[in-house]
Amino acid sequence: MVSAVELEQVAPGLFLWRAYDPSIKTELFSTGLSTSSGFFMIDPIPLASAEAKTLGDVAGIIVTNDNHDRAARDFAERFGVPIYSAASPLLPADLAAIPIEGAAPGEIAIHSEVTGVMVVGDALINFDPYGFTFLPAKYCTNPKLMRRSLVKLLAYSFERMLFAHGTPIQSGARKRLEALLADI
Q: What is the CATH number of the domain that holds 61?
A: 3.60.15.10
Cα–Cα distance, 132 to 83 (Å, whole number): 28
Residue 1 lies in a domain: no
Number of neighbours of residue 54 by Cβ within 10 angstroms:
10
Cα–Cα distance, 140 to 135 (Å, whole number): 7
Closest CA to 119 of 179, 174, 164: 164
Residue 132 lies in a domain: yes
Residue 139 lies in a domain: yes
pLDDT > 90? residue 4:
no
Residue 14, C-beta contacts closer than 8 angstroms, at least 6 positions apart: 31, 32, 33, 34, 115, 117, 160, 162
pLDDT > 80? residue 59:
yes
Residue 140 lies in a domain: yes
Contact 35, 22 (CB under 8 A): no
**Enclosing domain of residue 114:** 8-181
pLDDT at 52: 75
Work out the average pLDDT over 83-110. Answer: 89
Could you give the 3-state DSSP secondary structure of residue 106? coil
pLDDT > 80? residue 9:
yes
Binned at pLDDT 50, 70 and 90, residue 89 comes out as: low
Residue 13 lies in a domain: yes
* Tally of domains within the chain: 1
pLDDT > 80? residue 53:
no
Residue 49 lies in a domain: yes
pLDDT at 14: 94
Residue 3 lies in a domain: no
pLDDT at 142: 97
Residue 123 lies in a domain: yes
Contact 32, 42 (CB under 8 A): yes
